[in-house]
Homo-oligomer: A and B are copies of this chain.
């Protein structure tokens, strides 16, 4: 067994409580002690190699210094979805910087937040689950254990959220296609959205409208955030008579876009010549598809950082002024829409890992 406070007390000739006070450095409470005893205790602790047992500490104080990160499914912690990876990166990055430990949870299935979710082993939760419903929110109120939702809109109020401007992203993507002369533009939206088509699709519709293009219902297609639905929906569309084919598809994310491109390839057609494709997320993934994807970039890493900052404040009991953060997006233009080279974003190898220092990201977020 490890050395305990009792051992230290014995050696220093004091009581456990003195040890606790000395080690934690809190001269608060009724416990004040002479410099001499404090020193003696510290020395004894050092000598014995004593460190407080965080488990016992937490049980006693109700604080753990651990943040929980909830991703939608186990695979999400893995390379499986570069968006999730990147969110996780941001969160971990900042958590480590802020000297929080991290614990990982998975919200098995859509929006499920099991009993483990209200785990006293964490001081708060960062939730990155597509549809965030009641159980989560109940938790947040029942226990005084705050949570922050990233990339999602919980149904109940008073839950802080951090999102990118999906609506504007949808708008940008659509506008780009229109500029390139497309009129029959399909959209693959995420069928899982709690209500309606989701903000990305709303941006798409709004942009079409603004440009006087009729929003054909047959072109607004329920897909999902993985490559498979993209693949399947595109296959179905390609069965339509040639006249009814869209000339471009805006996909709800990059994975979905790759699925669509794969279906197109399989049929012997070409992107962008036959059908143009736009994605959403613009992680490294968009660089390695062939052709490279034109995609809406969101400040994913920064979203993770902000989530931790926000959660930290909530844990500290500070009130937050801006409950719903909305971060700006932009369009990265590559080859999947046939944009002329001068429009294309330079294929920046700089995007690769080694230039993502913390300072840069902070600066980036401040300007």
> A-side interface residues toward B, CB under 8 Å?
2, 51, 53-56, 58-59, 64, 66, 74-75, 77-82, 85-86, 89, 92-93, 96-97, 101-106, 115, 118-121, 142-143, 226-228, 255, 258, 284-285, 287-290, 349, 352-354, 356
Among B81, B102, B119, B356, which residue has its beta carbon within 8 angstroms of that of A54? B119
CA distance A356 to B227 in the complex (A): 13
CA distance A7 to B285 in the complex (A): 51
CA distance A106 to B149 in the complex (A): 26
CA distance A86 to B80 in the complex (A): 11
Q: Among A2, A64, A289, which residue has the most Cβ atoms of chain B within 10 A? A: A2
CB–CB A79/B353 < 8 A: yes
Nearest-neighbour CB distance to chain B for A136, whole angstroms, equals 15
CA distance A103 to B106 in the complex (A): 13
Q: Among A55, A58, A105, which residue has the most Cβ atoms of chain B within 10 A? A: A55
CB–CB B59/A120 < 8 A: no
CA distance A58 to B85 in the complex (A): 30
CA distance A80 to B360 in the complex (A): 13
CB–CB B89/A120 < 8 A: no
CA distance A349 to B293 in the complex (A): 14
CA distance A77 to B75 in the complex (A): 17
CB–CB B79/A255 < 8 A: no
**Sample of 12 A–B contacts (CB below 8 Å):** A2-B120, A51-B115, A53-B59, A54-B120, A56-B59, A74-B96, A74-B97, A79-B284, A92-B104, A255-B353, A284-B284, A285-B353
CB–CB A55/B121 < 8 A: yes
Among B101, B142, B255, which residue has its beta carbon within 8 angstroms of that of A105? B101
Find the B residue at minimum CB distance from A75: B93
Nearest-neighbour CB distance to chain B for A323, whole angstroms, equals 26
Nearest-neighbour CB distance to chain B for A149, whole angstroms, equals 21
Nearest-neighbour CB distance to chain B for A284, whole angstroms, equals 7
CB–CB B121/A227 < 8 A: no
